[in-house]
Amino acid sequence: MSASVTLLILASCLFAVGIYIMMQRNLTRILLGFLLVGNGVNIFIFLMSGRPGDAPITPANGDASGLADPVPQAFILTAIVINFGITAFLLALIYRSWWLAQLGEDGDTVSSDQDDDDENSAQVFEQSHDEDDAIQEALDASDDEDNNPLHEPGPNTGPIGTVGRISTEGRDPS
């Protein structure tokens, strides 16, 4: 098995620089270092796969001696996907950290002004609850009047109600 010296040096440099950058406390540098180490790992997997060969499709005669091993390629593809997912997560952390830094010393803690707003909201909610109770009592009282047999409807009210009754005043009965 012969490995390319150039690729070996390149992968070693990516590892060294990536680890050096990751040792610093800045999240952006940690992300860059992680990307460099991830690419170094991919190159090492490529180097360990052996000599290049033909496409991994079995020929018609069944001779598979000159074919490339597809497993390292699958490993590299999986490593790229995992590297992409972790990069997206680190970018989200960096954005959240930047957002919290923009808010100042308090960060995303609840201020006392917001507590006052919450108390006002609670009072408004209580008042609306009292109004809902008063409306419900009025509706219950009107239901009791409709169900009371002693209650006689007025001249313009009937079983349909005031809206559905047609006034006949002023018309000729014939």
- The dihedral over CA atoms of 32, 37, 42, 45, expressed in degrees to the nearest 10, equals 180
Q: CA-to-CA distance for 166 and 163, rounded, in angstroms?
A: 8
Residue 32's pLDDT is 93
Domains recognised in the chain with CATH numbers: 5-55+69-106 (1.10.287)
Which of the residue ranges 31-35, 58-62, 69-73, 138-142 has the most confident prediction, judged by mean pLDDT? 31-35
pLDDT-based confidence at 39, cuts 50/70/90? very high
Selection from 63, 34, 44 nearest residue 4 by Cα = 44
Alpha helices in the chain (DSSP H): 5-22, 27-48, 70-102, 112-147
pTM over 0.75: no
Q: CA-to-CA distance for 59 and 62, rounded, in angstroms?
A: 5
In this predicted structure, the answer to whether residue 164 has a pLDDT above a threshold of 70 is no
The 10s digit of each residue's pLDDT in 76-95 is 999 999 999 999 999 999 99
Percentage with pLDDT > 90 across the chain: 30
Of 151 and 69, more confident: 69
In this predicted structure, the answer to whether residue 131 has a pLDDT above a threshold of 60 is yes
Residue count (the chain): 174
Backbone angles phi, psi at 49, to 5 degrees: -75, -10
